[in-house]
Amino acid sequence: MSAADAPQDAVRDGRMAPASTLGVLATLRRAAQVSPELLEGLTLTLALAVVAAAARVLVPVAVQQTVDTAILAPGGADVTRAAALVGIAAVGLAVGAACSALVNVRLFRSSEAGLLTLRTRAFRHVHDLSVLTQNTERRGSLVSRVTSDVDTISMFVQWGGIMLLVSVLQILVATTLMAVYSWQLTLLVWACFVPLLVVLPRMQRGVNRRYAAVRERYGAMLGAVSEAVVGAETIRAYGVAARTQRRIDGAVAATRRAMVRAQNLVAVVFSSGVLVANLVLAVVVVAGTWLGVAGDLTVGRVLAFLFLVQLFTGPVQMATEILNELQNAISGWRRVLGVLETPVDVAEPGDDAVPSPRGPAALTFQHVGYAYPGGPPVLQDVDLQVAAGTSVAVVGATGSGKTTLAKLVARFMDPTTGAVLLDGVDLRRVASTDLRRRVVLVPQEGFLFDGTLTQNIAYGLRDEAAALGPDLPPHVEARVAQVVEELGLDAWVAELPAGMSTSVGQRGELLSAGERQLVALARARLADGDLLLLDEATSAVDPVAEVRIARALRELARGRTTLTIAHRLSTAEAADLVVVVHAGRVVEVGTHTELVARGEHYASMHAAWVSQTR
């Protein structure tokens, strides 16, 4: 989806749209567009539903026919005729039941297919969004958009959808039959429901708002729970379980309140349907009797009509109920569609894309400035030339903007002013497949998947091994083993309980921070980019291992460009070029020797470092 067809109000400084603002019908239309499977085979399903609905009037008709023509038959009860009538009705009922079973199955299949598409597209879109936008929404809440919000829709489409269909058809059938008996009373019955039709949409909007509040509270509650689960260690160490529980309890109570509020209104809407349905009986009694007195109706017809009215009001009540459920589904839909409507602020280049072939990468910063949305500038007027094959160390105090520099090169966001160029091409014009192939970032806290060491490192192969299962193909295992050896990590792996098959746990929590960094480095090495961005990627690794890795990387990265955010100046000593960042500006650029000789920022940092390490 492009940003162009998103409503204007969803575009708010790169934030995730909480929910789509489309109306009910527009939401449904949009939903059908996103998942066209929903409408597949609908004609046949509708035809089957008509048969199923028609079968619903069989019983009252059979009762009336049997009583009138068999039991009250002239000459005493006619058992044979009754048996025939009952037999025909039974066959009809069986056909009707078969049809509704078929309708159910068909709706299940199409709705689940449609929701699969919706789920997957929303999931994909979350990954397509910029890192900044992703960070505006809690992870737990994002998860609920592709899980429970979709489940809400699924519940509705499966149950409500079927019942709505059948109910509407039944209303039509009942109306036709009623009209056969008395068109005046039929008009009257419909007229009784007019006030409901006027009030209902307004109430439905209220229901809708309240269900939206439920979904929102629910998302917030999952967010609170996820914090308690992910932050379990901190909570335990600080003994703040009670406070965390208080917060969760608050979120749980808020969800409960929102649910009760929504259900109360639903109760009012539903019972007003019951009220009108039964008041209609009173109206029919009074009006029918009058019409009868006036000579327009017979007793039999009035009584038959009373029976038919119930055939009519039943589905009407059912329909109001389902419309309530629809509101719940609509708010689920809106939240999922809200994801799809959120524009990608780091957009793919269009026709002006410039191919970026593999090979040594040169990097240029042209007057680059950056400020996070609503924040002060983090980088200002950065100009930098990095020739292909150079190793660059970026040094500076924490918070000086070093990491932002790396993120701009990885195009996690675009500079607010100026441009970052790769081989002379503005990153905004490089297709992301090219960019990701060529630029590889290793952050300080790399993410590890819950799997084995081999699986995590093999992830660096990206799509080449897209079908990675529990059993990796031998050539993949061999490449992983080779990388581990190249980086000199084999001794460490040998110490692990199951070597390369050791499970790393969720987020790699079974490993120490330093070990996680080793895995992330091996993974990045396997990813084999032209430009390697190392953002304090070895900060938690022991000195011996770090030195060994740095040396190995230098060997392997010959001819490639590396940009290292350095926390230890040993990296800077070895780099071709040292860049000193201070308060968002590049203040010094040169080789280690040059900068030490210059005797300014870098020289004093280096002197301090040397005094600490030796």
Partner 1 sequence: MPARPRPSDDPQRPTAPAARSALRGSTARRSVGLIWRGLRAHPRTYAAAIGTSALFGGLTVVVSRVLGAVTDQVVVPALAGSTEAQGRIWLAGLAVALVALLLALTVAARRVLAGIGVADIQADHRRAVTRQYLRLPMSWHRRHPTGQLLSNAGSDVEAATGVFNPLPFALGVVVMIVAAAVALLRTDVWLALAALVVLPLAVVANLVFQRRMTPAITRAQQLRAEVADVAHESFEAAALVKSLGTEDREEERFSDRARELRQANVRVGVVRAVFDPVIDLLPNLGTLLVLLVGVHRVAAGAIGTGDVVAAAYLLTLLAVPVRAFGWVLGELPRGLVGHDRISRVLDAGEVPVDGATPWAATTPGAGVRMRDVRLSVPTAEGEVELLRGIDLDVAPGRTLAVVGPTGSGKSTLVGLVPRLVDPTAGVVELDGTDVRELRPADLAAQVGYVSQSTFVFEDTVRGNVTLADPGDEGAPGDDEVWAALAAARVDDVVRALPDGLDAPLGERGANLSGGQRQRLALARALVRRPRVLVLDDATSAVDPRVERAILTGLRSDDDATGPTVLLVAYRMASVLLADEVVHVEAGRVVDRGTHAELLARDPGYRELATAYERESQRRVREQADEEATDVWDDEVTAGGPR
Task: Measure the CA–CA gap between 14 and 346, rounded to whole angstroms.
Answer: 9
Q: How far is the CB of 511 from partner 1 (least distance, A)?
A: 7
Among 281, 353, 387, 587, binds partner 1 (CB under 8 A): 281
Which residue type sits at 126?
A: V
Residue closer to partner 1, measured from CB, 21 or 206: 206
Among 32, 42, 51, 270, binds partner 1 (CB under 8 A): 270
2 makes contact with partner 1 (CB under 8 A)? no
Per the structure block, which two tokens stand in for 74? 């002239």
| Footprint on residues 82-101 left by partner 1 (CB under 8 A) | 82-83, 85-86, 89-90, 93-94, 96-98, 100-101
Q: How far is the CB of 7 from partner 1 (least distance, A)?
A: 24
| Footprint on residues 21-50 left by partner 1 (CB under 8 A) | none
Task: Measure the CA–CA gap between 154 and 129, rounded to whole angstroms.
Answer: 25
Among 176, 184, 271, 385, binds partner 1 (CB under 8 A): 271
**Which of 460, 506, 469 has the alpha carbon at shortest distance from 487?**
460
Binding letters toward partner 1, positions 581-610, x by CB under 8 A? ------------------------x--xx-
Among 31, 48, 146, 362, binds partner 1 (CB under 8 A): 146
* Size, binding site for partner 1 by CB under 8 A: 198
Task: Measure the CA–CA gap between 343 and 347, rounded to whole angstroms.
Answer: 9
Q: How far is the CB of 368 from partner 1 (least distance, A)?
A: 18
Per the structure block, which two tokens stand in for 9? 């109000």
Task: Measure the CA–CA gap between 469 and 411, rounded to whole angstroms.
Answer: 30
Among 28, 40, 50, 136, binds partner 1 (CB under 8 A): 136
What is the β-pairing status of strands 363-371 and 377-386?
antiparallel
By the 10 Å C-beta count (0-12 exposed, 13-18 middle, 19+ buried), 591 is classed as: middle
Q: How far is the CB of 39 from partner 1 (least distance, A)?
A: 17
Task: Measure the CA–CA gap between 220 and 226, rounded to whole angstroms.
Answer: 10
Residue closer to partner 1, measured from CB, 102 or 419: 102
Task: Measure the CA–CA gap between 140 and 151, rounded to whole angstroms.
Answer: 15
| Footprint on residues 171-210 left by partner 1 (CB under 8 A) | none
Give start and end residues of each alpha helix (H) in 402-512: 402-409, 432-438, 453-458, 474-486, 490-495
| Footprint on residues 504-523 left by partner 1 (CB under 8 A) | 505-507, 509-515, 518
Task: Measure the CA–CA gap between 484 and 351, rounded to whole angstroms.
Answer: 41
**Which of 261, 259, 235 has the alpha carbon at shortest distance from 247?**
235
444 makes contact with partner 1 (CB under 8 A)? yes
Establish how many alpha carbons lie within 13 A of residue 156's alpha carbon, considering only the half-sphere containing its beta carbon.
22
| Footprint on residues 286-345 left by partner 1 (CB under 8 A) | 286, 288-290, 292-293, 297-299, 302-303, 306
Residue closer to partner 1, measured from CB, 7 or 399: 399
Among 28, 377, 412, 486, binds partner 1 (CB under 8 A): 412
| Footprint on residues 220-239 left by partner 1 (CB under 8 A) | 221-223, 225-239
Task: Measure the CA–CA gap between 91 and 55, rounded to whole angstroms.
Answer: 10
Name the CA radius of gyration of the chain, rounded: 35
Among 12, 428, 567, 601, binds partner 1 (CB under 8 A): 567
CB atoms within 10 A of CB 186: 21
Q: How far is the CB of 72 from partner 1 (least distance, A)?
A: 6
Residue closer to partner 1, measured from CB, 22 or 425: 425
358 makes contact with partner 1 (CB under 8 A)? no
Which residue type sits at 183?
A: W
Terminus-to-terminus CA distance in the chain, angstroms? 57
